[in-house]
Structure 1
Amino acid sequence: MIQQIRQRSRELSGEIRSIRQHIHQHPELSFEEFETAKYVAAKLDALGIDYQSGVAGTGIVAVIRGRQPESRCLAIRAELDALPIKELNEVSYKSINEGIMHACGHDVHTACLLGVAQIMHELRDQFSGTLKLIFQPGEEMHPGGGSLMIEAGVLENPKIDAILALHVYPHLPAGVVGFRSGQYMASTDEIHIKITGKGGHAALPHQTIDPIAIAAETIVALQQVVSRRSNPISPSVLSFGKIAGGTVNNVIPDEVELAGTLRTMDEQWRAEAHKLIRNVTHNISEAFGAQAHIDIPKGYPSLYNDPVLTAQIGGFAEAFLGKDQVRELSLRMTADDFAFYSQSVPGCYFRLGTNTNNAAHTVSVHNARFDIDESALETGVGVMSFAAFSYLQ
């Protein structure tokens, strides 16, 4: 079966490249993936695969049933959305939608999953169980399409026993994949703070309540929430990327707004940090006679890879690619809404190497020049197909 799937992955590589390039050229923002969803649906129609569209808006859930479809169910997730980035690559498949780009590789993920769909549909009489293919909207935007797909019932009918996802990784060469068992990626929460004081002339600070000075005090104090209150052996990050207030140099404004992000690996500490951020911010503002409004919309949970499932899928990858082509990954403070799935059922989120011999295509994701060595597509399709086939035996 390894040889058969290798051969089909190779035979389909040109078609999968074409699919990836089409999706790359026509990117759409989170929860606006209308044409992308139509394109995926048309490909599934051509293959004769059953699916439901319009799930959580633009999501699609396809089902491939094996000989004994009720025995077990494996799901594989790919994302449909792109980022609000103006592409700077000069390639034939450059984005034609101004200011929108598949800079996080979701075009790769969707193309690979369509390749898996074709191979597994061809092999449906040779495996047991059911394969569920999840084409998900809105991974890049709060509250995360994964949470909405779960609310829409994607984990049921049939009930999912385990779920997989791959993600492009420009830090590994094409032909290589990476795994990490257990805790892998951080939770992510947005921090929005509005400090309201009393504006006035900058030369008369005693007649004002200066929200800029209070904001500065708040930012410095909040850094100690992480450095002094969190367990140092559990990674945690609190950073502010935006501060906005005032218009000219000699006027103290009425308000200042701050925006930041909190990332943790510990769900209990995450909840505690939310309380500390609120308390510290309120106390500082009150001490200076100002008011603070704090909003912490809960984002993605930390991503946990089930150790048993990850060992199993990693073993399938070693059998398919060779042991030297499978690497162990390090912890990351980035986040992915696949965590919603892996908090609900056993999950395995692994990485697909996409650079060329560590010399080209090494630009990080979320960059206007991100691109891949397209030979990685054959690897992604082959590894996921073999893993799915082997799991469903």
Structure 2
Amino acid sequence: MSQASNQFAGIQDFDDRAAELIDMRRHLHAHPELSFEEHETAAYVAERLERWGYEVTRNVGGLGVVGRLKQGDGGRSIAIRADMDALPIQEATGLPYASTTDGKMHACGHDGHTTMLLGAAEYLARTRHFNGVVNLVFQPAEEAGKVSGAQAMIADGLFERFPCDAIFGLHNHPGAPAGTFLMRAGPLMAAADTAVITIAGRGGHASRPHLTVDPIVVAANLVMTLQTVVARNVNPTETAVVTVGTIHGGTASNVIPESAEIAVSIRSFSTEVRGLLESRIRDIATSIAAAHGASVSIDYERGYPVVINSEEETAFATAVVRELVGEEKVGVCPMIPGSEDFAYFLEHKPGCFLRLGNGENSAILHSSKYDFNDDSLTTGAAMWARLAERFLSV
């Protein structure tokens, strides 16, 4: 590592605060709050930022907190985001710091994300080795699914009230070694859409199917035909997923019901494929129903868009993490079919969403056995501090 790179924050600068970061993370883990209910978490974050000298704005987009710190006369500004909400899952880790609230737990690592950014916040306020403006965005309701915290903060004027040249975010990555980073420019995480298809037939006695229009048969045909959308309509060089997650219809074996319903999860990585999937699903559902004498109504809801990392900011972030942990601990992230509302921020500002290893033996995200890996706390905090310093170099 060059002497120039040594002037910025390193992991060793956080060694003496490792225990404090662990205590902070485990406190947040033990006190999870669901989307748009993060009252105590937001207060916890805001109080610490105020103590360290940040200009703090609460209740941005509901319960969002933004900490602003200005140093020098530099004209550049950066935004760094951490999410704060937990999930409606009963924790089954048996850890001494497990959730104290039944039915709620930090099963996605947002407790760790918040802690790492708080660790960087304290360091930046204490050292002030940057020239410009740091905006630390603590976001509620990433898990909301629709009308999420990112959307709410943007609608509440996030980027007008706290201008920035670029925005950065991070998510932990189970399966990758702790302390390693996975990077990818361009599409990283999928758009997530949902279609609920209701089939209206004509019910009757199971012994007289010729007098009915059986919506169960229509649903069965539809489930199988939808599997051809990706296989036969999407370019093989593209990536997409169409999954029928639920099917409901009927109450008894000797009754043909009036209606049936299926719900479909749709994932894509480009605007063109996203549009193609919707078009084909609508056409197939309508055509199959008509072929059987039935009709359909389709509730097609577009969810989070594709997370698309900008080339320049991803190259910059990649250089920062390589300086921090070494070339051997930085890899290329595969495209991830999961979704993330950080995508909304990237529709307004250039930026990069990183992945930080949570351990090769980590439980998967949204599992009742999941826990954020405390070994990553100092690495993540140092990375955010260094990235801010480098972006706003004196």
TM-score range, shorter chain: over 0.9
Contact 2:62/2:153 (8 A) holds in 1:
no
Identify if the C-alpha distance between structure 1 residues 35 and 253 changes in structure 2 by more than 3 Å, giving closer, same or farther. Answer: farther
SS class of match (1:100): coil
- C-alpha distance in structure 2 between counterparts of 1:133 and 1:65, whole Å: 12
Deviation at 1:5, TM superposition (A): 4.3
- Deviation string, structure 1 residues 180-227 (Cα, Å, up to 9, x no partner): 122212111111111122222222212222111111111222222222
Q: Does 1:346 align with 2:350?
A: yes
Aligned to 2:174, which of 149, 152, 170?
170
- C-alpha distance in structure 2 between counterparts of 1:175 and 1:273, whole Å: 37
Q: Does 1:122 align with 2:146?
A: no
Aligned to 1:134, which of 116, 133, 137?
137
Deviation at 1:167, TM superposition (A): 0.8
SS class of match (2:142): coil
Deviation at 1:78, TM superposition (A): 0.8
Matches within 5 A, 1:17-166: 17-68=22-73, 71-124=75-128, 126-143=129-146, 144-166=148-170
- C-alpha distance in structure 2 between counterparts of 1:176 and 1:2, whole Å: 22
Q: Does 1:294 align with 2:298?
A: yes
Q: Does 1:363 align with 2:366?
A: no
- C-alpha distance in structure 1 between counterparts of 2:64 and 2:194, whole Å: 25
- Deviation string, structure 1 residues 254-291 (Cα, Å, up to 9, x no partner): 22121121111111221232122112212222232222
Letter in 1 for 2:61: A
Contact 2:8/2:390 (8 A) holds in 1:
no
TM-score scaled by length of structure 2? 0.94
Greater than 3 Å deviation, 4+ residue runs: 1-8
Letter in 1 for 2:51: A
Q: Does 1:214 align with 2:218?
A: yes
- C-alpha distance in structure 2 between counterparts of 1:271 and 1:303, whole Å: 16
Deviation at 1:248, TM superposition (A): 2.1
- Deviation string, structure 1 residues 79-107 (Cα, Å, up to 9, x no partner): 11111211110111111221111111111
The equivalent of 2:379 in structure 1 is: 379
Aligned length: 387
Deviation at 1:244, TM superposition (A): 1.5
TM-score scaled by length of structure 1? 0.94
Contact 1:86/1:101 (8 A) holds in 2:
yes
- C-alpha distance in structure 1 between counterparts of 2:9 and 2:256, whole Å: 71
SS class of match (1:297): strand
Deviation at 1:159, TM superposition (A): 2.0
- What is the identity percentage for the equivalent residue pairs of Structure 1 and Structure 2? 38
Deviation at 1:138, TM superposition (A): 1.4
Contact 2:289/2:295 (8 A) holds in 1:
yes
- C-alpha distance in structure 2 between counterparts of 1:24 and 1:377, whole Å: 14
The equivalent of 1:392 in structure 2 is: 392
Aligned to 2:15, which of 6, 10, 14?
10
- C-alpha distance in structure 2 between counterparts of 1:259 and 1:99, whole Å: 25
Deviation at 1:2, TM superposition (A): 4.9
- C-alpha distance in structure 1 between counterparts of 2:204 and 2:43, whole Å: 55
Moved more, 36-45 or 113-122: 36-45
Aligned to 1:230, which of 230, 234, 254?
234
Contact 2:81/2:139 (8 A) holds in 1:
yes
Q: Please list every run of 5 or more consecutive structure 2 residues that lacks an aligned counterpart in the other structure.
A: 1-5
The equivalent of 2:3 in structure 1 is: none
Q: Please list every run of 5 or more consecutive structure 1 residues that lacks an aligned counterpart in the other structure.
A: none
